[in-house]
Amino acid sequence: MKIMKIISRGLSDTGRKRDHNEDSFLIDEELSLFVVADGMGGHAGGGTASRLAVETIATIMRESWAQEDSPLREDCPIQASRIPSLLRQAVQAACCNIYMASRENPHLAGMGTTTVVLLIHGQHAFFAHVGDSRIYLVRDDFVQQVTEDHSLVNEQLRAGMITAEEALKSRYKNIITRSVGFERSVEVDVMGLVCEPGDTFILCSDGMSNLVHEDDILELAAKGDLDAVTSALVALANERGGDDNITVVAARAL
């Protein structure tokens, strides 16, 4: 199996309107595993939910890596890979842990989180996601959102009820239709693609994606230094209002 070298950076910022940060992120370069989670449910609940999501996913993936028959040790075509099932299992485990924690502590009732996961394995990139945090792929002079928002506005957009311009300004843009932990289980979207040298993946919470557009991402991701990429994306979101927590993880295949 050909192993691609991965470099990465992550940055999280409270933004200009919030007094605390409910986002969490994970960078595990040994496993080439990256996670962004945007919590909801109040001061304690949101931060707890996002932290539990990140910690649970990291634990599940690490435990799998320690097993001889782990999907993470396989070299097979993308269509035959067991990694999508493993990622789905990890996010489902996070969902259950968050739900149980909320049942045990009344102060955490109703908490949940969005979750996006990227795992780069060999020459393949695998994704799992729930909610409206996003993953973008930047390849050469092209940028594409590879996740699809689980949000009311996106459902309205797909149904032709509103235009893309109206979606950006909608007062309902923060209403999500799926979250990790609000219920005991959740449907998890998973997918994979063939990764190419030079590909840059941007994982972000909606504090960035609501204010930073694809053209901005394409321009800023062209910076050679990933510290500069993440800093510039966070700075631009703050410059445009910073009305939510802003978290960005950038991972590049070499």
Residues 7-66: pLDDT tens digits?
A: 999 999 999 999 999 999 999 999 999 999 999 987 679 999 999 999 999 999 999 999
Q: Which of 219, 230, 205, 242 is nearest to 25 (CA)?
A: 205
Read off the amino acid at residue 209: S
CATH 1.20.870.10 fits 6-253, yes or no: no
User: What are the tens digits of pLDDT across the range 152-200?
Assistant: 887 887 788 888 878 777 877 778 999 999 999 999 999 999 999 999 9
3-state helix, strand, coil in the chain (%, to 5): 35, 30, 35
* CB contact at 8 A, 126 and 145: no
